[in-house]
Amino acid sequence: MDILAFAGTLLHGGLSNLAAYLAAHVLLCLVPAFFIAGGMASLIPSETVTRFLGRNTPKYISYPSAALAGSVLAVCSCTIVPLFAGIYTMGAGIGPAITLLFFAPAANILALVYTGGIIGADIAFARFFLSLAFGVGIGMIMALIFSREDIVRNQEAGLLFTDQRKMHRAALILLLVLVVLLLSGTLKLRFLTDSYGKLTLPIPGADSFQRWLFQLMPFDAGKGEEGVTAQGAILIVLLSLIGLSAWKGLQNIIEGFNGWTWTSLILVILTMLTASVGIHPHPGGLDILFTGKFFGVVLSIAVIIFLARYQLGKEEVQNWLWESWRFIKQIFPLLIMGVFVVGIIRQIVRPEWIESLAGKNTILGNLAGVVFGVFMYFPTLVEVPIAKMFLTLGMHRGPLLAYLMADPELSLQSILIISTIIGKLKTWTYVGLVALFSLLAGLIYGSWVDGANVWHIALYMMFFLSGLAFVFYLVNKRNRA
């Protein structure tokens, strides 16, 4: 019975985590991200991508371009993957693409401002400078190790896209509006989160339904866990309907539109509108709060519909929807699997274990922060209040930074997804480099916090980087041979 009860606890943890994730975080970040990725793959000529992010682009252009693009995207490790897949498919070099993959979740503007306000400006600056340096460094290392594969891939991409038409203004505007849609749903700015109107629906039993959901899937907010709200339950139902209709409506979209196509697109719009409002159940019914986010989503969707209907050709729209659906099929099932596994692991691993290990700025303490960041994944920006909790419980600021470096970039689900895009060898090389440099970032910052001599830290860094440079000199020598 104990084994059955433990198995039930694990299953409940996995399902609860999956339900909470789908209800709260997929819609206003991942859905636009998939459509942005599809647009990049179908509407942007490969020459445009390779001009700024290609392997032959000067490094002083490609890597700053990748970091600059990542700085404005308030996304987590899962949301950035479709965008990474889009630019990588279109011919971006592995180095700049990896820099974008690393830097966007780690040090986007919103994450830095939030970190500075909640924990302190010192750790926000450390997070920015070390993320920038290590993000570019990891990208260059990946480009060096896999230079031969990158050359072959770019040659194949050049042959594949030689006849692609030039990108016109409407396609560029469409992608920019999709980015605005993503930012409207993810930024926590006051004018977006404030409500400007309210509609009360006299639905009896709405509050009882909410209580039943919290009893069905209990959660501990202090550990960063989230329950399923009534709004979340509605969104899960809508997501399921989208999946069923899209399979029949988008799978063969190249052959033309059908009734299922229009059904799936209408459901996508309805789902995003539902996600953008505030829904508060109470004994008198259901309050619908019209937030600034809602008006931003409505305006963005209206512009997208206008562009798709009157400015883009039918073939361009079909290709865009097909590429978006291809990314969804490739990435979304692995995302669901990863989130479910994370929910199970949360039931086994206890935060207090990490707290006891990470009380001092040691290699073991920083490694514990990195491992915790990977296996106890939280959605974007949620890692900041969790880090604040660990700080108050005695975690050293060094391991705390190691956690803040690792948590946004790596998660089980993102590792699974990235491996399907660039292969297992490149993925695990990237994971190893992120873990290594996150640990190093924690040790460096923690040593500075403990009052270590700056010159001693610089000397240790020089020895480390010299050894690393020698190893990659040998790798580059082998590649040239």
314 within domain boundaries: yes
pLDDT of residue 35: 85
Least confident of 37-41, 108-112, 233-237: 108-112
The whole-angstrom separation of Cα 113 and Cα 87 is 27
Residue 315 sits in the same domain as residue 367: no
Residue 453, classed as helix, strand or coil, is coil
Residue 180 sits in the same domain as residue 302: yes
Residue 292 sits in the same domain as residue 370: no
Mean pLDDT (whole number) for 455-460: 74
Dihedral Cα 357, 362, 368, 374, nearest 10 deg:
160
436 within domain boundaries: yes
90 within domain boundaries: no
Contact 276, 289 (CB under 8 A): no
pLDDT of residue 220: 66
Mean pLDDT (whole number) for 31-53: 73
For 273-282, write each residue's pLDDT tens digit. Answer: 988 888 888 8
- For residue 54 the two structure tokens come to 């290609």
Mean pLDDT of the chain: 79
Q: Does pLDDT of 265 surpass 90?
A: yes
The whole-angstrom separation of Cα 162 and Cα 46 is 8
DSSP code at position 258: -
pLDDT of residue 65: 81
103 or 28, which is more confident: 103
Instruction: Return phi, psi of residue 134, to 5°.
Output: -75, -35
pLDDT of residue 160: 44
Residue 310 sits in the same domain as residue 372: no
The domain boundary residue, chosen from 331, 366, 387: 331
Residue 319 sits in the same domain as residue 385: no
Least confident of 245-254, 298-307, 347-356, 451-460: 347-356
32 within domain boundaries: no
pTM (2 decimals)? 0.68
Residue 314 sits in the same domain as residue 370: no
For 285-294, write each residue's pLDDT tens digit. Answer: 888 999 998 9
198 within domain boundaries: yes
Residue 264 sits in the same domain as residue 192: yes
How many CB atoms within 10 Å of residue 452? 15
45 or 102, which is more confident: 102
In angstroms, the Cα distances linking 39 to 198, 249, 296 are: 35, 18, 20
Residue 327 sits in the same domain as residue 361: no
Residue 370 sits in the same domain as residue 438: yes
Mean pLDDT (whole number) for 52-77: 73
Residue 359 sits in the same domain as residue 449: yes
Q: Does pLDDT of 73 surpass 70?
A: no
444 within domain boundaries: yes
Total domain count for the chain?
2
Instruction: Return phi, psi of residue 350, to 5°.
Output: -110, 130
Q: Which of 457, 398, 410, 460 is nearest to 435 (CA)?
A: 410
Mean pLDDT (whole number) for 59-74: 75
Residue 289, classed as helix, strand or coil, is strand
Residue 349, classed as helix, strand or coil, is coil
364 within domain boundaries: yes
What's the angle, vertex CA 84, arms to CA 83 and CA 90, rounded to 5?
A: 95
Residue 181 sits in the same domain as residue 286: yes
pLDDT band, residue 159 (cuts 50/70/90): very low
Residue 313 sits in the same domain as residue 361: no
165 or 332, which is more confident: 332
50 within domain boundaries: no
Element (H, E) at 175: helix 169-186
The domain boundary residue, chosen from 299, 331, 363: 331
State the residue range of the domain holding 386. 351-480
Selection from 23-37, 161-175, 311-325, 449-463 with the highest mean pLDDT: 311-325
